[in-house]
Amino acid sequence: MSDPHLGFIGLGQIGAPMAKRWCDHPGGLTVFDVVEAATAPFAERGAHVAASPAGVAERATVISLMVRDDAQVREVMSGPDGILATASNGTVVIIHSTVEADTPAEIAALCKPHGVAVLDAPVSGGAMGAHEGTLALMVGGDAEAVALATPALERLGTLVAHLGPIGAGTRAKLARNLITFASFAAVGEASRLAEAAGVDLAKLGEVVRHSDRVTGGPGAIMLRGTAGPLPADDGLRPIFEHTRGLGEKDLTLAIGLGAELGVETPVARQAFDQLGAALGVPHRHSLDTDNPDEGDDR
């Protein structure tokens, strides 16, 4: 099992570049996609093309799925031509699709009588990370199955994080995507504010990308093992209290600018309300756009 035969099902925008990183795997690769044209580049590179998920499981003992949604995951696993129709005892199936939080555990329970282990390993890094092999993989599942799958997963990304039992990877991905899309909403609001103020948005985008590379962006404050308030003697507390003060001051100024320019800033107002708790240093505070340097415990 040092070089298990690998399988990949779902050769879309993310799945195809991921699977291509397995084409030179010593144990071989079998692929399947409902779109026949998607498999042609793999056949040209020496991979076996199966006619169904069951055909993949006839050959492969470590199988990745990157399909669209929960329904497709279930069909690929337990449909008439699904993996469980042919999978051998000891097979490991890795679900990369972003699905509902409880789906991986439900699939694992379905597979257990067949001797098939399931991991959930959604990815972060997008198409660029898939092409470059720099994805982050958030893995949930049994340690033995994770150990078996890790050499293959390490070909796909530069960070393979085992986060806990089955389902932990999916829960982590949902939390990670909350950061992404909430940030996008903030970008929309900030762009409207900057545009109304006459700022060049393309150049502002360059500044944001540059500074995020330096500071680490939102992940820079994710240094703690709990989301609760920081103890009084925690070394991070004075740093985060300082960050809270700066943030509340600058958010107040942005909200004030929005009021001056007639730009609504609901994201900024919610950020002002929640910033202290997010940093683990909640406190009594008030929003005063007329006197931005004044307030409770700034």
Catalytic positions are 173
Give yes or no for a contact between 166 and 118, defined as CB atoms under 8 angstroms apart: yes
236: helix, strand or coil? coil
- Integer angstrom CA distances of residue 48 from 84, 161, 228: 19, 30, 50
38: helix, strand or coil? helix
For the chain, the residue count is 298
Burial class (CB in 10 A: 0-12, 13-18, 19+), 106: middle
Looking up tokens 């925690």, which residue turns up?
234
- Integer angstrom CA distances of residue 189 from 39, 194, 201, 251: 42, 9, 12, 12
| CA–CA dist 130, 21 (Å, integer) | 9
Long-range contacts of 103-112 (CB under 8 A, 24+ apart): 103/70, 103/73, 103/74, 103/170, 104/140, 104/141, 104/166, 104/167, 104/169, 104/170, 105/166, 105/167, 107/73, 107/74, 107/77, 108/141, 108/166, 110/77, 110/78, 110/84, 111/77, 111/84, 111/87
| CA–CA dist 267, 249 (Å, integer) | 15
Residues 6+ apart with CB under 8 A from 20: 41, 42, 45
